[in-house]
């Protein structure tokens, strides 16, 4: 029978194998945890970088909206001053005419003399008010027109500074979040180029509007005409419509076969007019330059309405009811303008209503004088134009044709100040209804030598010396020894309905007249991810 021997040393071998496994797991867990944390940090840094950079672009979009709206408001201010001048001219002539009538009544003792003294005082006051308003309007229009030019230049200057600010933000935010991140000159330059390309795709600079058929010429003209429409629709009630009754229809005589009524009707308003410049044309599809100027008309007339029974026709013995409404006496008149092209005289009489050959819901087969279009610029409808709607809303100044004609003669030269009209401005390029603007894709990288993984400690810490047995990254590790972060952001338009709800309740799409542009992170596309991988390989 054999004797059992004692075994010794096997436990130590097993223990050493167990310790090696634990150490390998610990090194792996440490590296995986460190890399995972760095990946999260890298993505957060990339997100913050692209968001902050695109936010600079959103800020520029809002600055354009503010300045566009400011230019609109200042154009309306010019229209207000022109309209006020026209209105005071009308009031002065009305009071002056009343004073002349009172000269006849003034021969009556006491009452007549008192009325004459009152109207004489009113006439002196209205004449003085007219001079004060005209002088003040000239100064105000000059200052306002200069301010519009400053706002236009500010848009261009701010946009130029935005490019440098965006690149600076791109670098500064990345470094502020992680000083070891590399923004790389090659990738940064490509990123900037893509941002500029996206900006150019969405936004255009509009200047020098002309007639003509070239695509680019048409696109610029359309943007300017939209700007003019915004100015027109932004007019205050005083500028838009000064038509109302001074004295409503009142019966003078009313018997069975005869009715007579009388009224005193005030008509007028202020309009922003498009004209073709008299200065030169272009070649190759680019025609004459387009300009915009302010004109205003105010007049008052006495109207008479008569109704009677008369013969219906040559062979019809039954009487028919007939009536007529006519302007019988002009009371007051006035006009004013701020013209382009250094003109002084404005021919108000050319805007008399035309006779329609056909009437299709306010459309007619007829054209206005060359170079003169109706409000809101419907000239692109093959000659079918809306009836002219000038100087008043519905009840236009030219309906008082006698006083309108006198105003055209006496105040056709009341040019308060020559203006430059609409200036260079930025606007969205596309007519598509959308809420998104320029976007940007950012790519950042970080070398593993900046990350405290085991391999980095081996190379940077002389006291840290791992045997080859514990180098788990030998056949694996991080691709290209670099971590990458890819993110995308875009500008988008959103008008808050709780704070700035539209009065008409409509949804508002993206535009550069209201400053509601914001920034958001969005998903990258497969194409953009492929481009990022390609760029990453260039950085090896």
Which of 418, 375, 420, 510 is CA-nearest to residue 151? 420
If you ran DSSP here, which 8-state letter would residue 387 be given?
P
Helix (H), strand (E), coil (C) string for 432-500: CCCCEEEEEEEEEEEEHHHCCCHHHHHHHCCCCCCCHHHCHHHHCCCHHHEEEEEEEEEEEECCCCCCC
Sign of CA dihedral 498, 503, 507, 513: negative
- What would the two tokens of residue 476 be? 């694996």
Sign of CA dihedral 342, 347, 348, 353: negative
CA distance linking residue 493 with residue 78, whole number of Å: 30
CA distance linking residue 186 with residue 279, whole number of Å: 48
Which regions in the chain score pLDDT beneath 50?
1, 185-186, 284-285, 353-387, 469-470
CA distance linking residue 385 with residue 305, whole number of Å: 31
- What would the two tokens of residue 490 be? 């875009």
- What would the two tokens of residue 500 be? 């700035």
CA distance linking residue 81 with residue 454, whole number of Å: 77
pLDDT score of 107: 67
Judge contact between 333 and 299, C-beta under 8 A.
yes
Which of 253, 262, 267, 256 is CA-nearest to residue 302? 262
Read off the pLDDT of residues 456-515 as tens digits, 9 standing for 90 and up. 555 555 555 555 544 555 555 555 667 778 889 999 999 887 777 777 777 888 999 999
Judge contact between 54 and 519, C-beta under 8 A.
yes
Q: Quote the crossing angle between the two packed helices 111-177 and 10-105, to the nearest 10°.
A: 170
Read off the pLDDT of residues 509-528 as tens digits, 9 standing for 90 and up. 899 999 999 999 998 888 87
DSSP 330-356: EEEEEEEEE-STT-----GGGGPPPPP
The dihedral region occupied by 155, where left means phi > 0, alpha psi between -120 and 50, and beta the remainder, is: alpha
In angstroms, the Cα distances linking 411 to 125, 136, 224, 299, 510 are: 20, 18, 29, 12, 43
- What would the two tokens of residue 344 be? 């002084």
Find the distance separating the first CA and the last CA of the chain, reported in whole Å. Answer: 72
Judge contact between 166 and 53, C-beta under 8 A.
yes
pLDDT score of 351: 61
pLDDT score of 477: 53
CA distance linking residue 435 with residue 519, whole number of Å: 12
Q: Which residues contact 480 (CB under 8 A, 6 or more apart)?
A: 536, 537, 539, 540
pLDDT score of 452: 55
Residue linked to tokens 């691709």:
479
User: Which residues partner with 292 through β-bridges?
Assistant: 274
**Extended strands (E) in 45-166:** none
Q: Give the Cβ contact number of residue 446 at 10 Å.
A: 21
pLDDT score of 70: 95
Residue linked to tokens 């953009």:
528
Residue linked to tokens 């075994």:
7
CA distance linking residue 337 with residue 294, whole number of Å: 5
Name the phi and psi angles at 490, rounded to 5.
-145, 160
Name the phi and psi angles at 498, rounded to 5.
-85, -30
pLDDT score of 463: 54
pLDDT score of 459: 55
Judge contact between 226 and 251, C-beta under 8 A.
no
For 110, what's the count of Cα atoms within 13 Å in the CB-facing half-sphere? 0
For 269, what's the count of Cα atoms within 13 Å in the CB-facing half-sphere? 23
- What would the two tokens of residue 309 be? 């029974």
- What would the two tokens of residue 44 be? 């957060």
Which of 512, 517, 478, 479 is CA-nearest to residue 495? 517
Name the phi and psi angles at 371, rounded to 5.
85, -5
CA distance linking residue 324 with residue 246, whole number of Å: 21
Q: What distance lies between CA 117 and its chain's CA centroid? A: 53
């Amino acid at each position: 029978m054999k004797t059992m021997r004692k075994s010794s040393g096997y436990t130590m071998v097993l223990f050493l194998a167990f310790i090696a496994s634990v150490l390998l797991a610990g090194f792996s867990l440490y590296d995986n945890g460190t890399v995972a944390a760095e990946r999260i940090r890298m993505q957060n840094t990339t997100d913050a970088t692209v968001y902050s950079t695109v936010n600079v672009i959103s800020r520029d979009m809002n600055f354009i909206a503010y300045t566009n709206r400011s230019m609109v408001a200042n154009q309306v201010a010019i229209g207000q001053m022109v309209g006020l001048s026209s209105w005071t001219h009308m009031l002065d002539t009305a009071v002056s005419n009343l004073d002349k009538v009172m000269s006849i009544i003034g021969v009556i003792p006491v009452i007549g003399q008192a009325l004459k003294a009152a109207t004489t005082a009113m006439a002196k006051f209205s004449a003085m008010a007219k001079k004060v308003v005209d002088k003040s309007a000239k100064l105000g229009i000059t200052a306002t027109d200069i301010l519009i030019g400053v706002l236009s230049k500010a848009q261009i200057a701010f946009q130029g500074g935005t490019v440098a600010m965006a690149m600076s933000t791109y670098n500064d935010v990345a470094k502020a979040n992680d000083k070891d991140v590399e923004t790389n000159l090659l990738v940064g330059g490509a990123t900037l180029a893509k941002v500029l390309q996206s900006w150019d795709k969405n936004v255009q600079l509009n200047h020098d509007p002309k007639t003509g058929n070239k695509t680019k010429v048409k696109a610029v003209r359309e943007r300017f005409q939209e700007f003019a429409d915004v100015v027109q629709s932004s007019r205050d009630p005083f500028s838009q419509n000064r038509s109302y009754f001074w004295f409503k229809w009142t019966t003078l005589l009313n018997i069975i076969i005869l009715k007579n009524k009388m009224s005193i009707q005030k008509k007028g308003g202020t309009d922003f007019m498009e004209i073709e410049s008299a200065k030169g044309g272009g070649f190759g599809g680019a025609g004459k330059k387009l300009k915009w100027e302010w004109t205003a008309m105010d007049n008052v007339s006495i109207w008479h309405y008569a109704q009677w029974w008369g013969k219906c026709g040559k062979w019809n013995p039954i009487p028919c009811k007939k009536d007529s409404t006519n302007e019988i006496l002009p009371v007051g008149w006035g006009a004013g303008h701020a013209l382009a092209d250094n003109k002084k005289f404005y021919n108000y009489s050319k805007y008399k209503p035309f006779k329609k050959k056909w009437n299709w819901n306010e459309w007619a087969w007829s054209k206005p004088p060359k170079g003169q279009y109706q409000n809101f610029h419907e000239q692109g409808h093959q000659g079918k134009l809306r009836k002219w709607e000038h100087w008043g809303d519905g009840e236009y100044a030219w309906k008082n044709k006698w006083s309108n004609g006198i105003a055209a003669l006496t105040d056709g030269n009341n040019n308060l100040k020559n203006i430059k009209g609409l200036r260079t401005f930025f606007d969205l390029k596309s007519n598509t209804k959308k809420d998104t603007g320029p976007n940007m894709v950012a790519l950042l990288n970080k070398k593993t030598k900046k990350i405290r993984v085991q391999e980095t400690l081996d190379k940077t810490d002389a006291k840290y010396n791992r045997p080859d047995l514990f180098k788990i990254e030998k056949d694996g590790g991080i691709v290209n020894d670099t971590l990458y972060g890819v993110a995308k952001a875009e500008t988008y338009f959103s008008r808050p309905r709780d704070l700035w709800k539209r009065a008409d309740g409509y949804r508002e799409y993206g535009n550069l007249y209201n400053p509601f542009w914001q920034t958001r992170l969005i998903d990258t596309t497969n194409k953009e991810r492929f481009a990022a991988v390609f760029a990453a390989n260039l950085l090896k």
